[in-house]
Homo-oligomer: A and B are copies of this chain.
């Protein structure tokens, strides 16, 4: 028995005692185990000579939903081992000999279940290893050295970034990445000093620069005024922030493995290299029924579409599908205690798989904390009882689960916030640095053409763009089978004159969406409440139990339907979709996003127009931002926030913040 096999045997023993929940993310030892299984497989197979394969994606292959729910409902530690255990499978996407392999392994008996070659369009996410390698290539290129020298710049002050290439109708594609470069020289704010005009294409399989463009020169924007590191506001409000805003030392939640319990909520938190954070099996305790009732089987960011609006060379390809191409988990930043998350936060580490198959840790990748919002959860002053003045106020304390993904220049701050009133608030904050383009202009009076952006500083254009963050929301409102309902407010004219002094009022007309086509809706100013109800469950007075989707102003993609980035993110034309649950349908732009052709994903799946009434359904909601940059966004952006809420609507018999029979 080799040392490696012994190790994996030991790991197996460890795994058998440590798995707490069937949706727990892969542990480092499980990742090692997967790598070992794959290694064994390829060392026996002549087709893929070891070690010429790289791991692009490793994730838990989840048990079927009904089995997870079964496990949950009979979740007794004593019986778990005696009843038939749930399978523990994992999926690995591997590139070997220019092909994409989909491997499924069984962690329980350490076996390979399948190795299938994927022959469709698109590629798995780029590995950090190959991106790093691609960024080294320019520095070995005489052409690049010449370009930098000819601009009077110092090569040691150059930083390059990898930009996914997208797909623009080519019949055949090769795995590749665009490389563009930025200049430090007196600032850490590299995005504010683009070395405009140079674009390089790197073939990722050959790891060779295959195209080199140095099309034009533009003045390099100055370093002056771009720094943000260690900057101090010149007013002293928060100079002593950490000491002043010390948070409570104790907290009211418990974390058992990946299960969180707080107030009336219980849910599972999972770090995921693609989605970032995944909330699963969220349920809320009903004090009247004396039990937890399900709300959300799974919720996570599914895709992010960020098209830039400059069609010129070096910019036209900039339309990113961040989650599929880079991964919100792999780009997640270790959170700064006391700054990214308050002093009372608890941090979770995350584990990802390197290109070599080895697990690596992203420390403090998720934080969980109680947040006193400064608002009232509810209040009332009663002054109409003679001789008494009643004021009752309940301050609002929520529970927040936070992750921050920094995809190059942009920082996405994602919050899942649980309230004691039963609401789940999903918030997205955008901060970080704009993507900027060097220009000769120093004043907008000089500009006579469409420059596709805002002049935010001398020689610096911040290009117009959008952010569409699409959420996968597998709601299970008090059970699996749900319906999607529009409660429309309709004006009625009074038809019997004299019956009332009023001439009009509005009333509610409910429409249940029958199929996926019905539920693909634009959110205009039409007055409507959107609800996911359980048509099989009623409250004490007969209302269907439900949750309401409370959205903000919706922004949807303005690109032409036949534009290539739009074809790949076709779903982004509608802010809201409802689909029939299907375990494999999780990633809105399809599973293989890099250089995808738009032949997989939400817009394709829903073409089947499946029935969605009284079925297991999934809601897809997009938080959208159109961003016309302004000078305040320079050199670093004040956070802009948006989001949506899932709020109980006749889910409970009464306000769940009050005890039963108050």
* B662 & A648 in contact (Cβ 8 Å cutoff): no
* 11 A-B contacts (beta carbon < 8 Å): A228-B392, A231-B662, A237-B370, A238-B397, A334-B391, A339-B394, A487-B628, A504-B563, A543-B631, A633-B655, A634-B655
* A248 & B237 in contact (Cβ 8 Å cutoff): no
Interface flags for A534-555 (1: CB within 8 Å of B; 0: not) read: 0000011111000010011111
A229-265 interface (Cβ within 8 A of B): 229-238, 241, 244-245, 248, 250, 252, 262-264
Which residue in chain B gives the minimum CB-CB distance to A162? B384
> Which B residues are in CB contact (< 8 Å) with A231?
392, 658-659, 662
* CB contact under 8 A between A224 and B500, given known A525-B554, A543-B444, A553-B551: no
* B413 & A464 in contact (Cβ 8 Å cutoff): no
> Which B residues are in CB contact (< 8 Å) with A109?
none
Classify chain A's interface size: 35 or more
Option from B234, B523, B626 in Cβ contact (under 8 Å) with A489: B626
Q: Is the interface of A mostly helix, strand, loop or mixed?
A: loop
A523 to B524, CA, bound (A): 9
* B250 & A244 in contact (Cβ 8 Å cutoff): yes
* B658 & A233 in contact (Cβ 8 Å cutoff): yes
> Which B residues are in CB contact (< 8 Å) with A309?
505-507
A630 in contact (CB, < 8 A): yes
A564 in contact (CB, < 8 A): yes
A248 to B397, CA, bound (A): 17
Known: A225-B654, A444-B541, A504-B560. 17 other contacts (CB 8 A): A190-B382, A224-B661, A225-B662, A231-B658, A235-B263, A237-B252, A312-B500, A340-B379, A340-B391, A374-B400, A377-B638, A379-B639, A392-B636, A423-B638, A491-B558, A631-B652, A631-B653
* A655 & B626 in contact (Cβ 8 Å cutoff): no
* B631 & A339 in contact (Cβ 8 Å cutoff): no
A458 in contact (CB, < 8 A): yes
A527 to B552, CA, bound (A): 14
* A457 & B494 in contact (Cβ 8 Å cutoff): no
* A542 & B444 in contact (Cβ 8 Å cutoff): yes
A32 in contact (CB, < 8 A): no
* A382 & B631 in contact (Cβ 8 Å cutoff): no
A650 in contact (CB, < 8 A): yes
* A506 & B411 in contact (Cβ 8 Å cutoff): no
A309 to B381, CA, bound (A): 25
Q: Give 3 nearest A-B pairs by CB, closest first.
A: A504-B560, A421-B638, A168-B501
Option from B241, B376, B638 in Cβ contact (under 8 Å) with A639: B376
* A632 & B421 in contact (Cβ 8 Å cutoff): yes
Option from B432, B433, B503, B639 in Cβ contact (under 8 Å) with A396: B639
* B559 & A380 in contact (Cβ 8 Å cutoff): no
